[in-house]
Structure 1
Amino acid sequence: MTTQPTQTAHDSVHFDSAINTEPTAAGDAALLAADLAKAQAESAELKDRLLRMAAETENLRRRLERERDDAVKFASAKFAKDILSVADNLGRALQNAPKPAEGDAAKTDPLNNLLVGIEATERELLSVFERFGIQRIDPQGQRFDPNLHQAMFEVENPNLPAGTVFQVIAAGYVQHGRLLRAAMVGVTKGGPQPDSTTAGSVDTKA
């Protein structure tokens, strides 16, 4: 008779414990689920930030490479601009020189020998320019292009399309596609309007 109340009391405690444990387990599961969702969100955010940082780093690397390449390509730009006048003077000397002798007299004519030397010097200078990516712009007879040419004067000429380069006063130069100096030119006016399909057509000669 004395053990029955004890057994009943024990069963009651066990039952109460089971009732109290079930809500606690459910709450723990909910907390774990919330923590997991938070961790996944933080992981996704961190991954996104890392991807953005990697993209920014790659863009920076490419920009620095371009700047380095440009620095190498155009390191001589200032010097090249200063020496363009030498090429101009050589060209003017050849254009304005008297007509050289012909035949046997050309072999002993001092003027002829001088002109041959000037021509060789000009060719060598243009060859050096070419090694540094510098090209001469000679737009004679081409359509005027404000990106490459500087109009110094206009000439009435009804026989040529308006805006045609009629005379080249000084050749222009580009280096690796970048303008070093615009060609100084005379342009026609008063003629028929040019075909728009030929706009900006410019020949470059090394």
Structure 2
Amino acid sequence: MSDEPKNSETAEIDSNASKAELKAAADDILKSAPAEEAAPEEEMDPVQKLEIEKEELREQLLRTLADLENTRKRAERQVADARIYAIEKFAGDLLSVSDNLSRALTALSEEDRAALSEPGRNLFEGIEMTEKELHTALARHGVTVIAALPGDTFDPNQHQAVANIPSDQPNGTIASCFQPGWKIGERTLRAAMVAVSAGAAN
């Protein structure tokens, strides 16, 4: 080999060189090659960067405020529902009391009532007053009777059809009511048992 120093970029490699010599020559070439400089990241304008951060914080704040408002409304709704429906089971248990009072009042015909003695009339009037006070107390707590008069529109959410009979009422409306229904707030507590009109008999 020549004694002159070889430039790694221009030096020729002897074709008879050993593997070790070829490897050493390749390493020299790689070491002498200039390293590629990483492209410097483009510096963002500080004002622009702050504007982006401000917009992100604004969106987060708006989302948080919306979540808080939804949570507040949901809590108010739950409190209102709890206040209205807290007595649902108790009110349901009182419906049988109302039914029994109603049966007692309808058990006597007008003629039988007229024939009652003074104590009998007082007893009958006492039952009437008790029923009226019970209904007033229930109404104070949002428990009211479901309308189910002959000719009323049949509503499957509030009425339970137990028969389909010919009547003078329009077809599909209520012909008669067997048992009154009750609701608490907007929720049906007990559906009214009704007969649905099949129209006038032929």
TM-score calculated relative to the size of structure 2: 0.72
For residues 200 and 109 of structure 2, the distance between their equivalents in structure 1, rounded to whole angstroms, comes to: 34
Identify the structure with bigger relative contact order (alpha carbons < 8 Å, sequence gap 6+): 1
- 1:121-140 to 2 correspondence within 5 Å? 121-140=130-149
> Residue 136 of structure 1 contacts residue 174 of structure 1 at CA under 8 Å; is this kept in 2?
yes
For residues 93 and 120 of structure 2, the distance between their equivalents in structure 1, rounded to whole angstroms, comes to: 29
Structure with the higher fraction of residues in helix conformation: 1
2:107 corresponds in structure 1 to: 96
Instruction: Give secondary structure in 2 for the equivalent of 1:136.
Output: strand
1:184 corresponds in structure 2 to: 193
For residues 113 and 144 of structure 2, the distance between their equivalents in structure 1, rounded to whole angstroms, comes to: 32
Task: Please point out which of 83, 93, 117 is paired with 2:126.
Answer: 117
Where do 5+ consecutive residues of structure 1 fail to align?
1-26, 193-206
Question: 1:125-150 CA distances to partner (integer Å, 9 max, x unpaired)?
Answer: 00101110111123121121112100
1:51 corresponds in structure 2 to: 62
Instruction: Give secondary structure in 1 for the equivalent of 2:43.
Output: helix
1:81 corresponds in structure 2 to: 92
Where do 5+ consecutive residues of structure 2 fail to align?
1-39
Residue range with higher mean Cα deviation, 36-45 or 50-59: 36-45
1:93 Cα deviation after fit: 1.3
Q: CA RMSD in A?
A: 2.2
1:171 corresponds in structure 2 to: 180
Letter in 1 for 2:43: L
The number of residues matched between the two structures is 159
For residues 105 and 129 of structure 2, the distance between their equivalents in structure 1, rounded to whole angstroms, comes to: 11
Letter in 1 for 2:83: V
1:166 Cα deviation after fit: 1.6
Larger Rg: 2
